[in-house]
Amino acid sequence: MTRLDRVEQTPGRFAGPPLTPRTAVIWSVLRAELDRRGAAELTVLDVGGGTGGFAVPLAQAGHRVTVVDASPDALAALTRRATEAGVADRVRAVQGDGDALAGLVEPAAADLVLCHAVLEVVDDPAPVVAALTTALRPGGAASVLVAGRAAAVLGRAMNGHLEVAATVATGPAGSAGPRDTLRRRYDADGAAALLTAAGLVVEEIHGVRVLADLLPAAVADGQQGALVELERALAGRPPYRDLAAQLHLFARRPA
């Protein structure tokens, strides 16, 4: 049985939100960690958590979540969403920079830190990873989601943009240039090295959206259940994992 199989089959108290092809693999990994922690109310920090797509379901599951985000608009939407879900008392919105976490949250206090789709847009990812590591209590876990480089190369090439594909493939950071919304993209080894350099131990790496972005909408929408299952089945298996639009790394601060 593979590690991912174990994750999928873990029974637990946290059902989580409805699973979509974009989120099913991430929730499977998070659910396994929540189940491992039993009935404990966890202290969760979501760095660049935006409008609360993960923060609000985690609060609904009984945990206390602080979202640090640079955007006041995103935080306003988060607060509305938390209020509508009846968990405003469990969600704290803090405006600030990911690399300035030290001044915003208590060190060594978080059981779980999320940093999803952020490291590819910040000025420098290393200080952000260092700061989120410092925010974790020893033994705490980090859920880090980054943009995958290989998928961007294939996507650009399949749309006929061969020069852009070459730039993404061979440039130092995997960005397509100044007009690219992302400043960098990762392969699994590079992303793991970034976390390891900050003192985290990487436990799992999965691909997220291996197929979801490649299929015609009629297929993706018409067979969503089958697509969720296929995404989960492929997520942990190279070479499929390494072609995913995003890479999800689950890491731990040593106890």
Ligand X SMILES: C[S@@+](CC[C@H](N)C(=O)[O-])C[C@H]1O[C@@H](n2cnc3c(N)ncnc32)[C@H](O)[C@@H]1O
What is the bridge-based pairing of β-strands 246-252 and 64-69? unpaired
Of 30-38, 46-54, 157-165, 186-194: span binding ligand X (CB under 6 A): 46-54
Taking CB under 6 A as the criterion, the residue among 12, 17, 53, 190 binding ligand X is: 53
Alpha-carbon gap, residue 26 to 7, rounded angstroms = 11
Which DSSP string corresponds to 58-71?
HHHTT-EEEEEES-
Question: Directed axis angle between helix 188-197 and helix 125-135, to 10°?
Answer: 60
Taking CB under 6 A as the criterion, the residue among 24, 31, 42, 48 binding ligand X is: 48
Contact 122, 69 (CB under 8 A): no
Q: Which is nearer to ligand X, 49 or 57 (CB)?
A: 49
Q: Does 234 bind ligand X (CB under 6 A)?
A: no
Q: Does 16 bind ligand X (CB under 6 A)?
A: no
Alpha-carbon gap, residue 242 to 130, rounded angstroms = 25
**Tokens 């131990």 -> residue:** 201
Residue 18 DSSP class? P
Instruction: Return the structure tokens found at 151.
Output: 């998928």
CB of 198 to ligand X, least distance (A): 16
Taking CB under 6 A as the criterion, the residue among 21, 31, 44, 49 binding ligand X is: 49
Lay out the site mask for ligand X across 88-117 (x = CB under 6 A, - = otherwise): ---------xx-----------------xx
Taking CB under 6 A as the criterion, the residue among 61, 74, 91, 245 binding ligand X is: 74
What is the bridge-based pairing of β-strands 110-116 and 136-147? parallel
Taking CB under 6 A as the criterion, the residue among 110, 118, 205, 251 binding ligand X is: 118
CB of 50 to ligand X, least distance (A): 3
Which DSSP string corresponds to 141-163?
EEEEEEEBHHHHHHHHHHTT-HH
Instruction: Return the structure tokens found at 119.
Output: 């490291």
Q: Which is nearer to ligand X, 97 or 242 (CB)?
A: 97
Q: Does 33 bind ligand X (CB under 6 A)?
A: no
* Binding residues for ligand X (CB under 6 A): 48-50, 53, 68-71, 74, 97-98, 116-118, 121-122
